[in-house]
Amino acid sequence: MPRGLSRRDFIKAGAGGLALASLGLGGFIASAKETSPDKAEARIRNRPGEADADWAFVVDVDKCIGCGRCVLACKLENRVPLDPLLNRTWVERYVVTRDREVHIDSPGAGVNGFPRLPGATLGEPQILKAFFVPKLCNQCENPPCVSVCPVNATYKTRDGIILIDQGRCIGCRYCIIACPYGARYFLPDAPVTPSGHARVVDKCTWCYHRITKGLNPACVEACPVGARLFGNLRDDQGVVAGLLKEKAVNVLKPALGTKPRVYYLGLGHWVQ
Amino acid sequence: MARVLDRSKFLANLRATLDVRRAWHAQSPYARAILTLVYLGFVTGTYAVAAILIWGPGLLHATDYVPWGIGISTYIFFVLTSTGLCFVSSLGHVFGIGGYEAIGKRAVFLAIITMMAGFAALAPDLGRPERMVFYLLTPHFSSLLWWMGFLYFIYFVFMVAEFLSLHKSRMDWARAMGVGGLLSAIGAHSTLGGVFGVVMARPFYFGAFMPLYFLLTAFLSGIAAISLASITTSWGRSRQFTPEVVDISCRLRKLLVAVLGITLLFTFWKVLVGLYAEPYRETFGDVIRGPLWQLEVILGLGLPLILALVAASRRIRVVPAMLAASSLVLLGLFIGRLDMVLAGQALPLKALIAPELSSYIPSAAEIMVVVGALSLCGLLYAIGGTFLRLEAVPLAHSSSTKDT
């Protein structure tokens, strides 16, 4: 009899221990998050400030020359691996031929600019229109990527930026499936990563660590022609607020109802 | 004191039951050869899973254009087979339809092991499987992926409880657990369909079709899996088709014809609507021109339907026809799950950074994981078949004890 009792006690103690251990594990993981290099982003969740901001990003398609400086600046600023397949922002080239066919490419995300088109298939006389479209996370008002995350690793800040807690991401990639803009990518094992975590999902934050200090995102700073503009819509005198007031702007895939906050000037109907 | 005695007796019993050496020698040379292959497959898969966990997801061919590959589709294949087996098992001891009790216990056992194989195939596809603790610590209730995991857990508990009840011939419990298992299976597996159905970004997935289609084809794979297991086991045991197997094959044939017919109807409308709507025509056109889709429909749906229909005309050939049909259905559905997962991702959402990213071909490690998951299923089935009396018909036993 005492044997049975002691076994029951043992199981009880084990269950208690397991509960304590899981709490401890949670605490350990939570504390590990604090030591990650990008502390600013990791602590944002409980940050009360910045709710008075209404960030907006404007891309002027007519100005972009496809030099790829923005892509490089982003990689250097955010410690995105230099692998051409891994990017938080990228530039797409659209070539519309006279038969209304649209050819889209983005060799190496456009980081080294764009090589000449293969002349045999696309001679200049056949080209109706050609232009560059820089892309980045749209920081949607209704982000499909946030609602699908099973562990709450990706979330929207009070000032409307979608961030990822990379210490919590399980790497299921469901958010990559759900994002209609292809803005998310999977970070493999790499010597350098934005937050020090690997095998998790990463994406553009509009350089949240910079904009919350009153700076521009790195890509905006790097653009030599002013094709990328950034600002706070609460600031009535700001350039971005003025542009949105005066010019006709478009967003990508408006029919999906995601309400993107990257606004494009001169965006033709060719662009998807 | 009595408790201690009981325990030693229990351990002795257990040792006698799990006498692996005797079980191994009792097998025919063919069975031993198959078991050896299955074991090697299991080792291969275990190695691949370990390699992916250690050396990273670089061993997978998933890209940001095709983030979900054969690992996800294999997972879907197995867990939907599990649902189907749960449906089939409940025909007898939940709905009380005569003639299906004989496969109840085997189907429940297969449902449990296919579920385990499914999760074994999924684990290496996660970047950080060790962080699954966040499923409990920081659940996100608006995520269908979270609900799927939660419902699977409940489903798994019900199925294990149902199996134990059947094993102990506790039919009242088995029925209760069976009802719970059935409801949680419908919940979990339609939620898996919903995981795809809510993705607006990808027209092939989006809509209410997926959850219903998943349940329907789950039933199909369950019928096929139980037919294949019953027929091959019977043949392996006695080198002939016993009257019981002929009887159950005849019953399952009718079910198979009905479900295959409905699945073909579903497939027809899915494709027709897709081709009709201009924005989706290109995607759907590419899908139906692809070899995977054609294999799925011709090999996995059309041919088995013909086989099952022809078998009706000459009763004696029902068993071999069902063996072929169910093998083809399972093969077709395995291909079909991969095709379904890939079809939704066929249209890139952004410009290609490198041309080779547009297509997906499974890597060696991914294929090894698939082989491992299949072998795990085989291995567990061999263990269960040897030690757990899967052919037992608890209902008959239970009712006879009730009568006396």
Q: Quote the pLDDT of residue B400.
A: 38
Residue B1 has pLDDT above 50, yes or no: no
Sheet holding A90-97, edge to edge: A102-105, A90-97, A127-135
Same domain membership, residue A170 and residue A100: yes
Whether residue B277 has pLDDT greater than 90: no
Residue A43 lies in a domain: no
Report CB contact under 8 Å: B4, A107.
no
Chain A residues lying within 8 Å of B348, measured CB to CB: 182
pLDDT for residue A46: 40
Residues A134 and A2 placed together within one structural domain of the fold? no
* DSSP one-letter code for A179: -
Q: What is the pLDDT of residue B182?
A: 95
Could you tell me the pLDDT band of residue A67, with boundaries at 50, 70 and 90? very high
Chain A neighbors of B200, CB-CB under 8 A: 144, 180, 256-257
φ/ψ (deg, to 5) at A228? -115, 125
- For residues A31 and A87, membership in a common domain is answered with no
CB atoms B134 and A148 under 8 Å? no
CB contact under 8 A, A85 and B63: yes
Selecting from A25, A106, A152 the residue whose C-beta is nearest the C-beta of B352 gives A106
User: A127 and A97 in contact (C-beta within 8 Å)?
Assistant: yes
Phi/psi of residue A102, nearest 5 degrees = -110, 125
Alpha-carbon distance A188 to nearest alpha carbon in chain B (angstroms): 6
Closest CA to B202 of A256, A86, A104: A256
Average pLDDT over residues B371-395: 85
**Which DSSP category does B64 fall into?**
S
What is the percentage of chain A residues whose pLDDT exceeds 90? 57
Which of chain B's residues have a Cβ under 8 Å away from the Cβ of A188?
56-58
| Mean pLDDT value of segment B284-312 | 90
Contacting residues of B for A182, CB less than 8 Å apart: 64-65, 348-350
Of A5-14, A33-42, A85-94, where does the model show the most confidence? Answer: A85-94
Task: Provide the percentage of residues in chain B whose pLDDT is more than 70.
Answer: 94
Least confident of A17-21, B154-158, B196-200: A17-21
pLDDT for the residue numbered B82: 96
Residue of B136 and B6 predicted with greater confidence:
B136
What pLDDT sits at residue B20? 72
Higher pLDDT, A115 or B222: B222
CA nearest B66 in A: which residue?
A177
Q: What percent of chain B has pLDDT over 90?
A: 56
The model's confidence at residue B349, banded by pLDDT at 50, 70 and 90, is: confident
pLDDT tens profile A202-255: 999 999 999 999 899 999 999 999 999 999 998 888 899 999 999 999 999 999
Residue A52 has pLDDT above 80, yes or no: no
Q: What is the mean pLDDT of residues B265-275?
A: 91
B135–A186 C-beta distance less than 8 A? no
| Dist. CA A40–CA B166, nearest whole Å | 56
Same domain, A103 and A16: no
> Helix crossing, B101-122 with B209-238: angle to 10°?
120
Nearest to A178 among B58, B65, B199 (CB): B199
Q: Encoding tokens for residue B326?
A: 């169910």
Asked whether residue A154 carries a pLDDT value surpassing 90, the answer given is yes
Banded pLDDT at A123 (limits 50, 70, 90) = low
Asked if the model's pLDDT at residue B216 lies above 80, the reply is yes
**When comparing pLDDT for B241 and B120, which is higher?**
B120
**Sequence-distant (≥ 6) Cβ neighbours of residue A56 within 8 angstroms:** A230, A231, A232, A233, A240, A241, A244, A261, A263
Looking at residue B85, its pLDDT comes to: 96
* Higher pLDDT among residues B11 and A85, named by residue: A85
Tell me, yes or no, whether A71 lies in a domain: yes
Residue B236 clears pLDDT 70, i.e. is over it: yes
What's the whole-number mean pLDDT along residues B158-187?
92
**A101 has a pLDDT exceeding 80:** yes
Judge if A99 and A191 occupy the same domain: yes
State whether A102 and A1 are in the same domain: no
Specify the pLDDT at position A28. 43
Distance CA B181, CA B385 (A): 22
> Looking at the structure, do residues A129 and A12 belong to the same domain, yes or no?
no
By percentage, how much of chain A surpasses pLDDT 70?
78
Class of CATH domain B30-346+358-392: mainly alpha
Å between A208 CA and nearest CA of chain B: 23
Same domain, A77 and A7: no
Residues of chain B with C-beta less than 8 angstroms from the C-beta of A92 = 350-351
Residue A40 lies in a domain: no
Answer yes or no: do B67 and A173 touch at CB < 8 A: yes
A41 falls within a domain: no
Per-domain residue ranges for chain B? 30-346+358-392
Range of the domain at A65: 48-272
In a domain, A100, yes or no: yes
Contacts of B143 in chain A (CB under 8 A): 147-150, 174
Residue A162 forms part of a structural domain: yes
**What value does the mean pLDDT take over residues B132-155?**
93
User: What pLDDT is stored for residue A119 in this prediction?
Assistant: 58
**Cβ-defined contact of B200 to A106 (cutoff 8 Å):** no
Inter-chain contact A181–B350, Cβ cutoff 8 Å? Answer: yes
| Same-domain check for residues A109 and A176 | yes
Query: Looking at the predicted structure, is the pLDDT value of residue A7 above 70?
Result: no
The secondary structure of A77-135 as a DSSP string is HHT--S-TT--SSEEEEEEEETTS-EEEE-GGGGTT--PPP-TTTS-GGGEEEEEEEEE
Higher pLDDT, A32 or A213: A213
State whether B133 and A172 contact (CB < 8 Å). Answer: no
Confidence class of residue B396 from pLDDT cuts 50, 70 and 90? very low
CATH number of domain containing A163: 3.30.70.20
Q: Which residues of A23-37 are buried (b: 16+ CB within 10 A; e: fewer)?
A: eeeeeebeeebeebe
Domain count, chain A: 2
Q: Which residues pair with A265 in a beta bridge?
A: A60, A249
Of B129, B134, B353, the CB nearest to A109: B353
Same domain for A123 and A91, yes or no, is yes
Indicate if A112 and A155 belong to the same structural domain. yes
Give the mean pLDDT of B267-290. 86
pLDDT score, position A8:
54
Average per-residue pLDDT for chain B: 88
Question: Within 13 Å, how many C-alpha atoms sit on residue B354's CB side?
Answer: 10
The reply to whether A42 falls in a domain is no
Comparing CA positions, the residue from A212, A210, A169 lying closest to residue A76 is A210
The residue to which tokens 């109802």 are assigned: A257
Using CB atoms, pick whichever of A1, A92, A201 lies closest to residue B351. A92
| Choice among A114-123, A200-209, A238-247, B191-200 with the minimum mean pLDDT | A114-123
Hey, are the CB atoms on B65 and A182 less than 8 Å from each other?
yes
For A168, the closest of B64, B134, B145 (CB atoms) is B134
Which is more confident, B286 or A77?
A: A77
Q: Which of B110-119, B262-271, B295-304, B383-392 has the lowest mean pLDDT?
A: B383-392
Q: What is the per-residue pLDDT for A27?
A: 45
Looking at residue B96, what is its pLDDT? 85
Q: Mutate which of A20, A121, A172 to disrupt the B interface (most B C-beta within 10 Å)? A: A172
Cβ–Cβ pairs < 8 A, chains A and B: 153
Q: What is the pLDDT of residue A121?
A: 60
Q: Which of B131, B349, B353 has its CB closest to that of A181?
A: B349
Residue B63: pLDDT band with limits 50, 70, 90: confident
Greatest mean pLDDT range, A117-126, B32-41, B154-163 = B154-163
Contact residues on chain A for B139, CB-CB shorter than 8 A? 150-152
Q: Is residue A128 part of a domain?
A: yes
Cβ neighbours of A104 in B, within 8 Å = 351-352
pLDDT at A180 over 50: yes
d(CA B160, CA B91): 18
Facing residue for A171 by CB, picked from B126, B133, B149 = B126
Tell me, yes or no, whether A76 and A192 share the same domain. yes
Angle at A47 between CA A44 and CA A52, to 5 degrees: 105
Show the tokens assigned to A144. Answer: 């499909």
